[in-house]
Copies of this chain bind each other. A is one copy, B any other.
Amino acid sequence: MGRKQAIIESATRLFAQKGFAETSTAEIAEDAGVAHGTLFYHFKNKRGIIHEIFSIAGEVYLRSLKKVLCRQATGMAKIEALIRFNENYSRDHIQQIRIFQRFFPDPADDCDPEKMLLDSLKQQVMSLIKESLETGVCDGSIASVDIDKTAAVIHSLIFGITHMNLMESADTPKLTQGAIAFCRRALTPGGQDCQTV
């Protein structure tokens, strides 16, 4: 593994655990087993490190999510898969997810490059949720709801669930199952055919 990769991995672990401001560049260098100066050979500055982590992690997440969604037959199945995917993904990539969840920029600052990255990521996730809902409405697996509002709600729900899961140490209280049931009740059309798992 190259030095740059080692730095990224150490930084990811440390930022996830302690936060960006609370992690020093010296600490990252030591953890990565490289000289302190090496950090600034590979990255413009400390922000440059988290920027790279952000953009890589965002891409990987999106690609994986898309792959999962397109495998599903119905719109409702996509929604369920989305919720399940999020649980699995944040279990397997705890550190990246934790960095995302920790990130909380000044909403007034429109120039923050990380904020822009994250905003674009969010918008793409929102689009995927909307597409899933539309698919569901078409194929009859989802009741005819307001697509935009519902997508925003589901997006919030997923974010909230992920956050709760990360706050607990590891016991992961099957929030996912409850969330799927909840969504199915909310979305299933009609005299409704409330299927549970």
* A interface, CB within 8 angstroms of B: 17-19, 21-22, 98, 101-102, 104, 106-108, 143, 145-146, 148-150, 152-153, 155-161, 163-164, 166-169, 173-175, 177-188, 190-197
Taken together as a complex, chains A and B put the C-alpha atoms of A106 and B149 apart, in Å, by 33
Q: Is the CB of A169 within 8 A of B107?
A: yes
Residue of B nearest to A94 (CB): B107
Taken together as a complex, chains A and B put the C-alpha atoms of A145 and B196 apart, in Å, by 12
User: Binding site of A, secondary structure by majority: helix, strand, loop or mixed?
Assistant: helix
Complex copy number for this chain: 4
Q: Is the CB of A173 within 8 A of B153?
A: no
In the complex, chain B residues whose CB is within 8 Å of the CB of A104: 19, 98, 101-102, 167
A24 CB, nearest partner CB in chain B, Å: 11
A146 CB, nearest partner CB in chain B, Å: 7
Q: Is the CB of B168 within 8 A of A107?
A: yes
27 contacting pairs across A/B (C-beta < 8 A): A19-B21, A21-B22, A98-B104, A101-B104, A108-B169, A143-B185, A145-B185, A149-B178, A152-B164, A152-B175, A153-B182, A156-B161, A157-B160, A159-B160, A177-B197, A180-B196, A180-B197, A181-B194, A182-B186, A184-B194, A188-B194, A190-B190, A190-B194, A191-B192, A194-B194, A195-B196, A196-B197
